[in-house]
Amino acid sequence: MLEIPPGVYYKSIAPCICPIVNYCSHCGEKVVFRVPEGDNLPRHLCDACGTIHYLNPRLVIGTLPEWEDRILLCRRAIEPRRGFWTLPAGFMELGETAEQAAIRETLEEANARVELTGLFTLLSVPHVDQVHLFYRARLLDLNFSAGAESLEVALFREAEIPWEDISFRTVSTTLKHYLTDRGSGEFVFRAGELKAQG
């Protein structure tokens, strides 16, 4: 079998760096990185107990909270991109649905209560092994404030959005799709891929 150096994950499209797994979480023995029998991609394998350690993309789930003609944004209090504006979002936790994650993240980051109105964007970001999902959401009231991971939270009209200070391309892409659809009067689900820049 083909042995591959740890930490380098060869995909058919492009190589990507994955976390290095040194020891089996089931039995504690050292693992190897190779293509298991019957598979076509390299995995971290334990020859001692036969466990295959699968590493999969992480889900980032959030909302695009609306109040009349304004959008709620949070200014990040944590790295990466501390001080930049974002939609409330974060990593999905085990044991929750995507909808629950969206509502929880919005409450945690903006102390905002929302009603989800539909999945709006699904953006694959393969160079960082993530998939970002954003739901359109209606703010239930104006009782929002900065959560532990936000410096401040504010509502923005289209002309007020701080485009130069938006934290991530998934956020700016989602905002641009939203504003385009709002202008046309019809919201449609968007899926796509954001490739690495430079």
pLDDT per residue as tens digits for the range 51-60: 999 988 999 9
Domains in the chain: ranges and CATH = 1-55 (2.20.70.10), 58-193 (3.90.79.10)
Helix (H) or strand (E) holding 98: helix 98-110
Sheet arrangement for strand 52-53: 32-34, 43-45, 52-53
Partners of residue 123 on adjacent β-strands: 132, 192
Please tell me the predicted confidence (pLDDT) of residue 20. Answer: 77
Distance, CA of 140 to CA of 169 (rounded, Å):
27
Among 15, 35, 187, smallest CA distance to 116 is for 187
pLDDT per residue as tens digits for the range 41-50: 899 999 999 9
Structure tokens at 28: 């504690």
Distance, CA of 138 to CA of 5 (rounded, Å):
48
More confident residue, 197 or 166: 166
Please tell me the predicted confidence (pLDDT) of residue 11. Answer: 43
DSSP per residue, 153-165: EEEE-GGG--GGG
pLDDT per residue as tens digits for the range 67-116: 999 999 999 999 999 999 999 999 999 999 999 999 999 999 999 999 99
Least confident piece of the model among 53-57, 70-74, 183-187, 188-192 = 53-57
More confident residue, 169 or 2: 169
pLDDT per residue as tens digits for the range 97-111: 999 999 999 999 999
pLDDT reading at 1 higher than 60: no
pLDDT reading at 21 higher than 90: no
pLDDT reading at 10 higher than 60: no
